[in-house]
Amino acid sequence: MKIFLYYVGKPRDPHANAMAEEYIRRSGRFATCEMREIDPRRFDPWAKRPAVSKILLDPLGRSLDSAQFAAQFDRDLAFVVGGADGLPGDWRSRADALLSLSPLTMPHELARVVLAEQIYRALATLRGHPYPR
């Protein structure tokens, strides 16, 4: 299984990015994981990873609990988190799924951390690791 996390833009808070990187590093025990920052004008997830399911974070997306989220990990996935201005308008209609982390508004740097932790939690759950107890 391969998991890709794409983030639009550079984080303003390097500490938040370090936390997300730590969870992705831990996730690497269970699956191949890659986290990178992208510029949507130069990087198209559909062209780069055509066979991977694209899940975009969006306030109008579906809310899942941790067990429902873990159930999504039966295939290669690419998660895309928008920057301060969100994602390009045409990307939403091309997504395989839209996911909302919370009805609360949060900085995109914090969304990176929450998503990375939930990915680690999902992979650990699926492998019977004690982390998610």
What would the pLDDT profile of 84-124 be if each residue is shown by its tens digit?
Answer: 888 998 999 999 999 999 999 888 889 999 999 999 999 99
The values of phi and psi at residue 86, to 5°, are 80, -150
CATH of domain 2-126: 3.40.1280.10
CA separation for the pair 9, 133 (Å, rounded):
34
In this predicted structure, the answer to whether residue 133 has a pLDDT above a threshold of 80 is: no
| Residue 132: predicted pLDDT | 75
| Residue 54: predicted pLDDT | 97
- Whether the full predicted model's pTM is greater than 0.75, yes or no, is yes
